[in-house]
């Protein structure tokens, strides 16, 4: 039986480096718990797992101003 996976799960290992501190809901612990639960309850294999592609500066400028992107680059830690 051929199963079509209609629900995407977009994830990447770099997401685990996004840590806003212990009490913030966006945390590596939360992401790991979600993935472990999906696997434990049998839903993980029904998902279409997608790793997002890197995008170019030009693509980012379709949504954000060059000044905003420069600000982010100047005020961000080194590339992950």
Predicted TM-score (pTM) of this structure:
0.68
- Dump pLDDT digits (tens) for 19-58: 888 888 888 999 999 999 999 999 999 999 999 999 999 9
Q: What are the structural domain ranges in the chain?
A: 8-74
| Helical ranges in the chain per DSSP H | 28-40, 57-60, 66-74
Q: Which residue is associated with the tokens 């212990």? A: 22
**Distance linking the first and last C-alpha atoms of the chain:** 41
What distance in Å separates the CA atoms of residue 80 and residue 72, rounded to the nearest whole number?
14
Per cent of the chain over pLDDT 90 is 66
What is the predicted pLDDT for the residue at 22? 80
């Amino acid at each position: 039986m051929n199963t079509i996976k209609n629900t995407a799960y977009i994830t990447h290992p770099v997401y685990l480096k996004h840590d806003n501190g212990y009490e913030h809901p966006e945390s590596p612990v939360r992401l790991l718990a979600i993935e472990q639960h999906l696997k434990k309850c049998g839903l993980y294999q029904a998902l279409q797992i997608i790793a997002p592609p890197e995008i170019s500066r030009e693509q980012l400028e379709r949504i954000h101003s060059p000044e905003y992107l420069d600000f982010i680059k100047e005020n961000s830690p080194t590339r992950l």
